[in-house]
């Protein structure tokens, strides 16, 4: 089953892109390039979902 999440991207004062997934508490990362940021945010989402594992948490997913 595929899920979609919204990623909020901002650029900080040092030039890093910072990505946050609002639907998943604590899910964020940063990178110098957008390509690397998207790679890292996917990893972060997987790790956060894995960590939440059996806790029965419901996530608000975006409708396609």
Q: How many domains does the chain have?
A: 1
Distances (CA, A) of 47 to 7, 12, 44, 50, 63: 15, 24, 5, 5, 22
Whole-number pLDDT of residue 56: 45
> Is residue 64 predicted with pLDDT exceeding 50?
no
Query: Which CATH number characterizes residue 23's domain?
Result: 3.30.160.250
Give a yes or no: residue 21 inside a domain. Answer: yes
Taking only the tens place, the pLDDT of each residue in 34-61 is 999 999 999 999 999 999 884 545 555 4
Give residue 1's pLDDT: 63
The CA distance from 58 to 14, in Å, is: 35
Q: What backbone phi and psi angles, to 5 degrees, belong to 8? A: -95, 125
CA dist list (Å): 6 to 13, 17, 40, 54, 59: 23, 15, 14, 23, 11
Instruction: Please report whether residue 60 resides in a domain.
Output: no
* Domain-located, residue 38: yes
Give the domain range for residue 37: 8-48
What is the C-alpha to C-alpha distance for residues 46 and 27, in angstroms, rounded to an integer?
10
Domain presence at residue 19: yes
- Percent of the chain past pLDDT 90, that is, above it, reads 73
């Amino acid at each position: 089953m595929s899920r979609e999440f919204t990623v909020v991207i901002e650029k900080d004062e040092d030039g890093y892109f910072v990505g946050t997934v609002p639907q998943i508490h604590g899910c964020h990362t940063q990178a110098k390039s957008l390509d690397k940021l998207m790679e890292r945010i996917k990893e972060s989402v997987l790790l956060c979902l894995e960590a939440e594992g059996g806790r029965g948490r419901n996530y608000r997913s975006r409708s396609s």
